[in-house]
Amino acid sequence: MKIFHACDIRGIAGTELTNEIAYKIGQALGVKLTGQKVVVGGDVRLSTPVLKEIIIKALLESGCDVVDIGTVATPVFYYALKATQGTGGVMVTASHNPAPYNGFKLVLGVNPVTEEDILEIKQLVEEGAQVSGKGTLTVLPIIDEYIAYTAKLAQKSQLRVVVDAGNGATSDIAPALFRTLGYDVVELYCEPDGRFPNRSPNPALAENLKGLGKKVLESGAQLGVAFDGDGDRVAFVDENGRAVDNDDIIVIVARYYLEQKPGTIIYDAKCSMVAPEQISKAGGRPIMARAGHTFSKAAFIQEKALFAGEISGHFFFSELGYDDGIFAGLKVCEFVASHGSLAELVDEIPNYILTPDIRITYKGSDKEVILDDVAEKLSQYNPNRIDGVRIEFEDGWGMIRASVTEPLFTLRFEAKTSQRLEEIIELLLSALPENIKGLVRTALPTQP
């Protein structure tokens, strides 16, 4: 079943993720969590209410004590786990995926969910595993409490900011939190609608921020903040309506925390080399994590980091203990309020020549074998195997990794000059099988 991914469970609702499979997943979770307190929430997707009801039913029949927190953003779900001291949790959401999708983000204890955990759930589903018990159900509205708690950890401001909820789960929550702190909020797409009629739920793509950029210019706002479908990812546009790379946002937020005290900052393996350079320059200790929510969270916890950032828009905070896109929006706004123009702050950060993700569809089961072969062929360059194969130089790097959520390889390259970029690309391509090499050459941007 292709709905089981490295960090969560996700697929097209009704076809890949059917009600029957959802119930079996709930039973499998009940086997692992029986007798424990389990927090359950859901986003605004049209399929969420039914899936959430099914999961709750299966958990109750498995002897779990369920806390139903209703329709919430994922950061509210994480807060509820902390506030109720729940040991398990299920958030019904497909995050940044298009409207037809849905899925489950899982919490199975204090540590992040691993690939092995997901494989175990898959095996339990295939076996039809279940336990019987009589659980309890508590309905707990918690959004107001989340807003009050989060507001205490942020600063008041009268900054004008456009909040683009993308009609997702933050539609009511984010504007309310920003206004609680005094912000002059201009709303965009802040009517909950699980069809996502105005833009894709994925704000990491610049084309999905065009409406936000236009609204920022029209309203004279200092910046714009956009959330994904469930609110755990965020993206930004500056006062000129220009989308800001999350590599730069990682640098800005790292500087904000490092101004207060020294510490460790986590960045993911797909980030520009600008991130570790600037973190070090600001007095921090940069640590690279494998790309992916679970892996960043694990590094964040293990290293007791001040802050962790991914270019996908996940940001983790030490004062919270979890990732929160809304809180990330507040932190960037605070930095802008105290340091001036976001456009100027971004423009002063060095930029090198960085390709976008080059996505190569590959449905074979031998992806890891191919990566091992690439690493062997490039062994003289001491490849970094934290996430696929990454070769690093003082003036650039290149990497190939297997996607954990889709049947494809992704490649990315960066260098300080165009010539060096071409050299690094050719070096990595020389180690690839001919069929993949040809696909990469076709997909390479003409002007990286």
Assess whether pLDDT exceeds 80 at residue 389.
yes
Architecture category of domain 353-443 in CATH: 2-Layer Sandwich (3.30)
| pLDDT reported for residue 405 | 66
The yes-or-no verdict on residue 105 having pLDDT over 90 is yes
Q: Tens of pLDDT along 25-35? A: 999 999 999 99
The reported pLDDT for the residue numbered 144 is 98
pLDDT at 395 over 50: yes
Looking at the chain, the domain(s) classified CATH 3.40.120.10 span 9-141, 145-347
Q: List Cβ neighbours of 210 (8 Å cut-off, separation of 6 or more).
A: none
Nearest in space to 165 (alpha carbons), one of 107, 208, 122, 104? 208
Q: Return the CATH number of the domain spanning residue range 9-141.
A: 3.40.120.10
pLDDT at 433 (0 to 100):
92
pLDDT band at 446 (very low <50, low <70, confident <90, very high): low
318-329 tens-digit pLDDT: 999 999 999 999
Average pLDDT of every residue of the chain:
95
CA distances from 331 to 231, 238, 253, 328 (A): 15, 15, 7, 5
pLDDT of 447 over the 70 cut: no
pLDDT band for 448, please (50, 70, 90 cuts): very low
* CATH 3.30.310.50 location in the chain: 353-443
**Over the stretch 275-294, which tens digit does the pLDDT of each residue have?**
999 999 999 999 999 988 88
- pTM across the whole model: 0.93
How confident is the model over 35-57, as a mean pLDDT? 98
pLDDT for residue 291: 85
Report residue 436 CA to chain centroid gap: 28
Q: Which CATH architecture has domain 145-347?
A: 3-Layer(aba) Sandwich (3.40)
Q: Does 95 participate in catalysis according to the annotation?
A: yes
Instruction: Give the pLDDT confidence score for residue 364 in this predicted structure.
Output: 82
pLDDT at 417: 95
Rounded to whole angstroms, the Cα distance separating 402 from 272 reads 19
Which three-class secondary structure string do you get for the chain?
A: CCCECCCCEEEEECCCECHHHHHHHHHHHHHHHCCCEEEEEECCCCCHHHHHHHHHHHHHHCCCEEEEEEECCHHHHHHHHHHHCCCEEEEECCCCCCCCEEEEEEECCCCCCCHHHHHHHHHHHHHCCCCCCCCEEEECCCHHHHHHHHHHCCCCCCCEEEEECCCCCCCCHHHHHHHHCCCEEEEECCCCCCCCCCCCCCCCCHHHHHHHHHHHHHHCCCEEEEECCCCCCEEEECCCCCEECHHHHHHHHHHHHHCCCCCEEEEECCCCCHHHHHHHHCCCEEEEECCCHHHHHHHHHHCCCCEEECCCCCEEECCCCEECHHHHHHHHHHHHHHHCCHHHHHHCCCCCEECCCEEEECCCCCHHHHHHHHHHHCHHHCCECCCCEEEEECCEEEEEEECCCCCEEEEEEEECCHHHHHHHHHHHHCCCCHHHHHHHHHHCCCCC
Residue 264: is its pLDDT beyond 60? yes
Q: Which candidate in 95, 272, 312, 403 is catalytic?
A: 95
Give the mean model confidence (pLDDT) for residues 200-220: 96
Q: Averaged over 124-144, what is the pLDDT?
A: 97
pLDDT (average), residues 184-191 = 98
